[in-house]
Amino acid sequence: MSCGAVRDRLSAHLDGELAGREAHLVEEHLQGCAACARHWRELRAALELLAQLPEEPVPEVVAARVLGRVEAETRGPGLRALYRSSWSARPLILPSLVPAALLLGLTLSVALRLDTPAVADEPLPPVPAQMLGDWNTAPARPAPLVHTAKVGLPRAREGVLPEDVLDQMVEGSLFLETVVGSDGNVSEMTVLGGNQELASPLREALWRERYEPVRYRGRPASVNVYRLISHLEVRAPLT
């Protein structure tokens, strides 16, 4: 058997898939050919290295976010559960949070508005009327584009909520809507619910945040981000 033929069969040989006679021929060749024997040793060593890759710990935020989004999708029972579990501990937060959350429905939905008017050649997909809200009556703005699946959330580039602001969060939560513009700056901010006393220091910190803007159809676009900020949340950078 030639060196080429042997090397073509090494993978199958490794998996024990060669028939008896073929396996024997390969083994025989490996014993007599130093180059192929070295090739064989390297192949096995490479796969061993691969199999020994250390398992990395999963960031806690993965499960927290997945379950949070699933919870938001199964709104009804989810919010009832939240109401039950948190009512006794934080009676003041929920009355303001729950209605705000219900109004917004799927809170992870991303409503996208293109800033640039240069998309005239590309007709925008129709937007469900209920998602348009006030924008319907604001013709000066470009029509908002509702898009959920393919548009990511903007990534925070800088701007971290300062510790002293966070410490105040022990006593409450704040639910707000921010608009991250196509330049990566926060351009709008609306407090939707929660402890209004927290709004002022938080808003200052949030205005300073800078993002990597999301892109849609190759252009930077502005995007609505709904945020629930509270001491309950996993401490992790906003993505």
Partner 1 sequence: MAVSKVASVGGAEMATSEIALGRADAAEAARTVPAEAGLLEACRRGDPGAFAQLVGLHQGLVFNLGLRLLGDPEEARDLAQDVFLKVYRTLGSFRGQSALRTWIYRIVVNESRNRQRWWRRRRREKCLPLESLPAADSAQLVADESGADSPFETVRRRERGARVQAALRQLSFDHRAVLLLREVEEMSCDEIAAALELPEGTVKSRLSRAREALRQALVRGGGALS
Least spacing, CB of residue 127 vs partner 1, in Å: 21
Q: Return the number of the residue (58 or 140) whose C-beta is nearest partner 1.
A: 58
Q: Return the number of the residue (97 or 146) whose C-beta is nearest partner 1.
A: 97
Least spacing, CB of residue 126 vs partner 1, in Å: 23
Q: Return the number of the residue (195 or 230) whose C-beta is nearest partner 1.
A: 230
Residue type, 81: A
Q: Cite the beta strand spans of the chain per DSSP E.
A: 111-113, 144-146, 155-158, 173-180, 186-194, 210-212, 215-216, 219-220, 222-230
Q: Return the number of the residue (57 or 123) whose C-beta is nearest partner 1.
A: 57
CB-side neighbour CA atoms (13 Å) of 142: 18
DSSP letter assigned to residue 170: G
Tokens of 35: 């180059």
Using N-to-C axis directions, what is the helix angle for 60-73 and 75-87, rounded to 10°? 120
- Given a contact cutoff of 8 angstroms between Cβ atoms, the answer to whether 237 and 209 are in contact is no
Least spacing, CB of residue 7 vs partner 1, in Å: 8
Least spacing, CB of residue 233 vs partner 1, in Å: 5
